[in-house]
């Protein structure tokens, strides 16, 4: 898909990878619908993107809220008259061990809330936005692309029961949607980064971060621009669908 003058919606676009991907798409002339629950920050992000010479609007919405997501996608197509792509970048991490054991005694458990909150944003939010975006693409007869953000953690990472489960779920939904939506000329793709240089990575304890880096053959974190480049590749290559692109510096075993 040629990105110039296309309309791409990006969730989690107020900062981090979502914002970096928005910049990367604006640089090749795509217009952007930027979605995030941070009201002020998403307006600022839209202003910054507009300075790159494209049209951009911010939409303040919690991606776990079904009716808010529905009305947001109605509003996006009312505002722009088209929708050609969605990148599901909104995501959270709430790490913890399944059980904490000291001297043979259980001292803590991952709470249901800690587990569920991550599934709600990373899986349900991705599902709701993809469902509404696909509906709009079909209704407006637009070819389209949907990208989900997985992670190297999808293989099962210590301290990340919730996050790993969510990131393997989005990789699987990518495959399902490729099969279901191909007849509407909608492709899907998933990106599974290792650790990227963003606020999310900064939440990691320094010793964990150091340990993680030792397992990265590339010897460094990914830069946000490299994620933008990967997302553009998925959009621009019409034979790419249903697969996860592993952008992890060789980390995965
Ligand atoms: N940064 C990394 O190293 C890394 C690695 C692998 C995968 N990922 C994935 O990439 C995606 C983006 O990560 P990031 O580093 O940019 O994170 P980030 O924390 O910097 O940004 C996430 C954005 O999502 C928004 N958001 C969170 N919950 C939301 C909700 N319920 N509704 C609407 N918006 C919401 C936040 O406000 C924030 O702007 C996430 O899905 C993450 O799991 C990140």
pLDDT value for 211: 86
Give catalytic residue positions.
163
Give Cα 120 distance to the centre of its chain.
Answer: 14
CB contact set of 248 (below 8 Å; sequence gap of 6+)? 152, 192, 193, 194, 216, 222
pLDDT value for 253: 64
CA triple 105-106-110, angle to 5 deg: 165
- Residue 13 CB–ligand 1 contact under 6 Å: no
- Residue 18 CB–ligand 1 contact under 6 Å: yes
Distance in Å, CA 109 to ligand 1 centroid = 25
Domains of the chain: 7-195+225-247 (3.40.50.720)
Question: Tens-of-pLDDT digits for all 253 residues of the chain?
Answer: 999 999 999 999 999 999 999 999 999 999 999 999 999 999 999 999 999 999 999 999 999 999 999 999 999 999 999 999 999 999 999 999 999 999 999 999 999 999 999 999 999 999 999 999 999 999 999 999 999 999 999 999 999 999 999 999 999 999 999 999 999 999 999 999 999 998 878 877 888 888 889 999 999 999 999 999 999 999 999 999 999 999 999 997 6
- d(CA 156, CA 224) in angstroms, rounded, equals 23
Q: Is 147 exposed, middle or buried (0-12, 13-18, 19+ CB in 10 A)?
A: buried
List the residue whose alpha carbon is closest to atom 41 of ligand 1.
91
Tell me the CA distances in angstroms from 67 to 38, 78, 128, 132, one per residue in order.
18, 16, 10, 10
Q: Are 21 and 28 in contact (CB under 8 A)?
A: no
Polymer length of the chain = 253
Q: Are 190 and 243 in contact (CB under 8 A)?
A: yes
Distance in Å, CA 153 to ligand 1 centroid = 14
Residues in a beta bridge with 96: 160
List the residue whose alpha carbon is closest to atom 25 of ligand 1.
12
- Whole-model pTM? 0.97
- Residue 16 CB–ligand 1 contact under 6 Å: yes
pLDDT value for 204: 79
pLDDT value for 68: 98
């Amino acid at each position: 898909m040629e990105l110039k003058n296309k309309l791409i919606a990006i969730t989690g676009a107020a900062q981090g990878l979502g914002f970096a991907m928005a910049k990367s798409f604006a640089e090749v002339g795509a217009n952007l619908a930027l979605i995030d629950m941070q009201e002020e920050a998403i307006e600022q992000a839209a202003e910054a993107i507009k300075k790159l010479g494209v049209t951009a609007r911010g939409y303040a919405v919690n991606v776990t809220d079904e009716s808010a997501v529905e009305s947001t996608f109605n509003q996006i197509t009312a505002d722009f008259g088209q929708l050609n792509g969605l990148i599901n970048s909104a995501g959270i991490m709430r790490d913890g061990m399944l059980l904490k054991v000291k001297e043979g005694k259980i001292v803590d458990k991952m709470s249901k809330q800690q587990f569920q909150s991550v599934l709600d944003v990373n899986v349900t939010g991705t599902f709701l936005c993809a469902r509404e975006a696909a509906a709009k693409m079909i209704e407006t007869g637009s070819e389209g692309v949907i990208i989900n953000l997985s992670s190297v953690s999808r293989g099962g990472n210590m301290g990340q029961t919730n996050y790993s489960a969510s990131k393997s779920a989005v990789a699987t939904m990518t495959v399902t949607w490729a099969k279901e939506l191909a007849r509407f000329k909608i492709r899907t793709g998933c990106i599974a980064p290792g650790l990227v240089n963003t606020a999310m990575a900064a939440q990691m304890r320094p010793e964990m971060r150091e340990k993680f880096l030792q397992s990265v053959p590339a010897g460094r974190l990914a830069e946000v621009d490299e994620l933008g480049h990967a997302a553009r590749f998925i959009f621009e290559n019409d034979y790419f669908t249903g697969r996860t692109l592993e952008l992890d510096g060789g980390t995965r075993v």
